[in-house]
Homo-oligomer: A and B are copies of this chain.
Amino acid sequence: MSQVQSVVDATRKFVQDEVLPLDDEFDGDIEAAGGDEARRRLQAAARDAGLLSPHGPEEYGGLGLNMTDRAPVFEEAGYSLFGPVALNINAPDEGNVHLLDCVATAEQRERYLKPLVRGEWRSAFAMTEPAPGAGSDPSALTTRARRVDGGWLINGRKHFITGADGADFFIIMARTSGEPGDAGGASMFLAPADREGIELTRHIGTIDVSMLGGHCELVFTDVFVPDEDVLGDIDQGFRAAQVRLGPARMTHVMRWTGAARRAHEVAVRYAADRTAFGSRLADLGMAQQLIADNEIDLAATRALLREACAELDAGGRASKSTSIAKTFAAEALNRVVDRAVQLCGGLGVSRDLPVAKIARELRPFRIYDGPSEVHRWSIAKRAVRDYGEGEPR
């Protein structure tokens, strides 16, 4: 058995035994389940099981898995809505670990990356802004960092900042040159959450409730960031963030594949157990169609994911393949869970089975991390660039 397989198996067992009971008791609501306190308990258990931070650098106690090997491990973690937080591979910390590992200075690694990998700190990535700022279109960035003595002063508003409530530090994207609408001119800054001028103004009440720290609005008023906390090069923020982009898309897919698989498995068991019109539900053709379509969607999601991961592991930016995999997966996994709900009938929309809560949590994935429409737009533009020349033949 490969080493990865043993991590996969251990993760499956850990999630089943330690994480699912809490998830189901509190219907996937991480705050109801204890919030950060619950996270600490679950992460302590994961640490004991040798499963904490499978993606983190080994020097800080992570398992150092590459993208390809993360895929099955993260899927097992995602089987429970609380699995990712338990293994410290939840968004946005997981992506931030990846980003810091690629971009941070030695000093920044020690100060920010190390506690993040160890599960001592949490973080948030402060990028998206309310209209008319940076949303699907990053170039609309309006938050500004102004040069001052020894560092920068940041002013602006952010929203949908996942995990912001309780984060120990923020990675802030702010404009250091140019105007909203310009493609470049952004930079990234590290700032402890208690830095003066950072205000969490509200939780945006979203339908998903399993993400620790919620989705928040922040206001930055003259937030000072010293030069040593600039992350990457000035004016190169969008370029540097690319490092985070592709992998973060894929780890989302990995986790949600696990959640969708759970819904599917629960529904299949339900259908195998239930009788209607003199047949096992699982033997009725329309139920079989729902089940088969789920298998197909899960298989295609994983196949696209693995290809993109191989490309990333080979050093590519994988911009096309991660965009395709993310878009397909977001829609396919939502279909999977919707079919699972349908298969379970009345219980499918109840708390008696976990399928309804998975549907609730998964829906935003078609919007977060780039709505399907924006991905399609960029996929199409690339295709036109690639094939659009010459006579139709």
> Per-position contact with B for A289-304: 1 when CB-CB < 8 Å, else 0?
1011111100110011
Residues of B within 8 A of A356 (CB): 206-207
Given contacts A287-B373, A373-B286, is CB(A346)–CB(B265) below 8 Å? no
> Per-position contact with B for A326-357: 1 when CB-CB < 8 Å, else 0?
01100000000000011011101111111010
Residues of B within 8 A of A381 (CB): 288
A364 touches B349 (CB 8 A): yes
Residues of B within 8 A of A195 (CB): none
A71 to chain B, nearest CB (A): 13
Given contacts A275-B131, A299-B324, A372-B342, is CB(A383)–CB(B268) below 8 Å? yes
B376 touches A271 (CB 8 A): no
Q: Chain B residue with minimal CB distance to A380?
A: B288
Query: Which of B277, B300, B341 lies in contact with A300, CB distance below 8 A?
Result: B300
B348 touches A321 (CB 8 A): no
Given contacts A282-B388, A383-B295, A384-B291, is CB(A367)–CB(B393) below 8 Å? no
Interface size on A, residues (CB 8 A): 94
> What is the copy number of this chain in the assembly?
4
A288 touches B136 (CB 8 A): no
Residues of B within 8 A of A351 (CB): 204-206
Query: Which of B267, B353, B387 lies in contact with A265, CB distance below 8 A?
Result: B387
> Can you add 19 more A-B contacts, CB < 8 Å, to A269-B388, A289-B373, A300-B303?
A159-B346, A206-B349, A215-B350, A264-B387, A270-B392, A273-B388, A286-B286, A286-B377, A289-B289, A292-B377, A292-B383, A293-B376, A295-B380, A299-B304, A303-B303, A341-B363, A342-B366, A345-B371, A349-B364
Which residues of A are in contact with B by a Cβ distance under 8 Å? 20, 27, 128, 131-132, 135-137, 159-160, 181, 204-208, 215, 264-278, 282, 284-289, 291-296, 299-300, 303-304, 306-307, 321, 324, 327-328, 341-342, 344-346, 348-354, 356, 359-360, 363-364, 366-368, 371-373, 375-377, 379-384, 387-393
The 4 closest A-B pairs by CB, nearest first: A285-B285, A272-B388, A292-B376, A288-B380
